[in-house]
Chains A and B, each alone.
Chain A
């Protein structure tokens, strides 16, 4: 059996509304991550992908809170974590890279200083050893003239190079899990391909597990083993990447696939699905996707459970109540 490095159960993330009540942003999701695996999380913008990933780091923004569920990393349960415990796993066990390479490095410190900071924070090494490690990391992520780059400032590097530096920082303490939240969205296509290539290569070398968040199914096809499709704070489909592209089940997934070129252009809406993601607190009753779904029927006024399919996929849609029924009503 493949080892699970990360398990998330019934994760709930929400914000407080004016009356002190809670508005769910992420509504009780379950997933796990195998060792060495790349798990994709896809969905339109606003589906709760970033909030999910930030709750794995304990770095939800002010005003947003996790109020329920378990997150386990190996035998660590994050629920019991105090501030210090969090600090010990951040960067050391779980590392993260962000969407905006242009702004994710601190402009006033050198590249070397920013890598060293991570290493010196987690490892008992001398400054010199840290520097050597930083140099190694820059080589690993394929940065030309690494010795010089160590002493350069972020503004002296291109976006692609900065994302490589971010990867170098994230991986410098050899984390078990790397969370990459839209790591290539801000980069142009050739650079994007290079960065993905690099992540794959390093993953093989270091045997890491990756959670890759993206709204780009092309990236998913390229990188991931398994994929979770999120809609309005819920998981609507979970399957192997091959199955997802072969036999997408959930109408939302089908819509995403049908509008592939559109989401790559980061449009606000999907051409094949009308409407937009409902805002937190304005969720429809029953199936949250129903108002935008062309297969919606009476049953959809109730919340569907995740139905398990024959190939092991799970789908949150009433169409699959009786097992794997290929949607006839097309």
Chain B
């Protein structure tokens, strides 16, 4: 177990290193940051050189990369070209909002998809199943910006029940979470349904029924518990995607998250913020995957961490 975690950590370091290489060089393909910094007038050659020197852009690339790597080890991503604030501080400031939105979206997806998927599977082929599947299809095929805008129109503009932008309270979380969660719930409900159908055909479900326990116990305790494994894998992958991929939702709801931080940074060619933000998200994704893998052992006793089977 310990050896496994160590191996995974080494693996993580390798992944982060690879990402650092890719992000460092690809960022520099977006163009010269200095040229977008002077808004008014034609800057003098001297002024430009001065700025480049201050930002460390006059050094050879490998030196710049070395500095970047050195910073990585201490989680120091340098300072923003724009605001001069440490990138880590900017990220920390946005992290709460991003995590809240990811968890919120996940929670909405689970709350909708688990019941829908389970009921659909249990009532397979009936009207209920039909509606469940239509729901999944709608969830999957709806563009989320549309749903977000509709929710804002209904609940923020017309009914004035909920705020439409920013993140100041729990209330602010509701509409963006639903927007994000609905999309995910469509796919998730499908996955839950198909995993449940597969599990319900297993002999141990007949065994469970033959004990005279309630239908609920058969479905939840015996079937769903076994259907959980593929579901958790999917959710883990999705969580990573939610952290970085909420850009559209963050835009619609003016959500102060890391996704928007990175988008703004890209527009401004703010290299350190882009690099720091992307690396940070990558580390979180890898960490989430590790946690998911470890959680398998709790869900399924047949899985032994480290690949050794008893």
Contacts and interface: CB of A to CB of B under 8 A. Distances in A.
A91 B211 contact: yes
Interface stretch (A102-110, A200-208, A247-255, A285-293): A102-110
Contact of B302 (A57, A62, A95, A155): A155
Interface in A60-114: 62, 83, 86-92, 95-96, 98-100, 103-108, 110
A272 interface: no
A171 to B, nearest CB: 12
B2 interface: no
A121 B212 CA distance: 7
Contacts of A62: 124
A95 B124 CA distance: 27
B210 interface: yes
A104 B205 CA distance: 8
The 10 A-B residue pairs with the shortest CB-CB distance, nearest first, are A90-B212, A103-B203, A87-B212, A91-B212, A106-B204, A153-B301, A91-B211, A104-B203, A96-B210, A118-B211
Contacts of B226: 106-108
9 contacts: A86-B212, A87-B214, A90-B210, A103-B203, A103-B204, A104-B203, A105-B204, A106-B208, A169-B207
B209 interface: yes
A117 interface: yes
Interface of B: 124, 202-204, 206-215, 222, 225-226, 299-302, 310
A95 B210 contact: yes
B191 to A, nearest CB: 18
A255 B299 CA distance: 50
A83 B212 CA distance: 10
B299 to A, nearest CB: 7
A155 B310 CA distance: 9
A166 B208 CA distance: 11
A91 B207 CA distance: 10
A121 B211 contact: yes
Nearest to B301: A153
B210 A59 contact: yes
B301 A59 contact: no
Nearest to B208: A106
A118 B222 CA distance: 13
B131 to A, nearest CB: 19
Contacts of B204: 103-107
A98 B208 CA distance: 12
B222 A91 contact: no
Contacts of B300: 107-108
Contacts of B206: 59, 98, 104
A238 to B, nearest CB: 26
B212 A156 contact: no
